[in-house]
C-alpha cells in the first residue's frame, strides 16, 4: 500500500512538472522604473530619476497579455507579436498592445547584450515612455 501511495505522489509531481514546463508564462521582477515625456511643444524631455520598485511582471502568451502588478494593476492585451529583432548590442521582443483603457501602445522587452544581458521593459505611448529594469524570476 505504501508503494502505491509513493507511486501516486511521484506521478503527481511529474504531472505538475510537465505541465509547468509547457506553460508559456514568463515572470519577471522589477528593480526600478523611469519615465520620459513629451513637453508642450512635442519634444522629448529628459528621463526622470530612476525610482526603485519591486513588483512582478507576467507575460502570458497563452492569454495574450502582459500584467504589471503595480499599485494599480496594469493590463496590456497583446494584439500583435512583432518579429524578434537583434543587433550587435540588443535583442528585442515587441508587442503591439491595448492597455486597461483601450489605448494603443507598444511593449518591448530588450536584452542589452553589452551590459551583462540586462533586461528592460519599455512601454511606449505617443506622448510618453515608461521603462522598467527587469530580471527573470
What is the per-residue pLDDT for 23?
56
What is the per-residue pLDDT for 57?
97
Domain ranges in the chain are 25-136
DSSP secondary structure, 37-82, as one string? EB-TTS-B--PPPPEE---EEEEETTTTEEEE-SSS-EEEEEEEEP
Around 122, how many Cα atoms within 13 Å sit in the side-chain half-sphere?
A: 19
Mean pLDDT of the chain: 87
Q: Averaged over 111-125, what is the pLDDT?
A: 96
Cell numbers at 119, concatenated? 533586461
Amino acid at each position: 500500500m505504501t508503494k502505491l501511495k509513493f507511486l501516486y505522489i511521484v506521478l503527481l509531481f511529474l504531472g505538475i512538472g510537465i505541465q509547468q514546463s509547457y506553460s508559456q508564462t514568463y515572470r519577471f521582477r522589477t528593480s526600478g522604473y523611469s519615465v520620459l515625456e513629451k513637453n508642450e511643444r512635442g519634444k522629448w524631455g529628459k528621463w526622470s530619476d530612476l525610482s526603485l520598485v519591486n513588483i512582478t511582471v507576467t507575460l502570458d502568451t497563452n492569454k495574450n497579455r502582459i500584467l504589471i502588478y503595480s499599485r494599480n494593476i496594469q493590463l496590456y492585451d497583446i494584439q500583435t507579436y512583432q518579429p524578434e529583432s537583434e543587433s550587435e548590442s540588443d535583442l528585442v521582443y515587441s508587442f503591439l498592445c491595448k492597455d486597461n483603457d483601450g489605448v494603443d501602445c507598444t511593449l518591448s522587452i530588450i536584452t542589452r547584450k553589452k551590459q551583462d544581458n540586462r533586461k528592460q521593459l519599455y512601454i511606449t505611448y505617443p506622448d510618453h515612455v515608461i521603462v522598467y529594469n527587469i530580471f527573470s524570476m
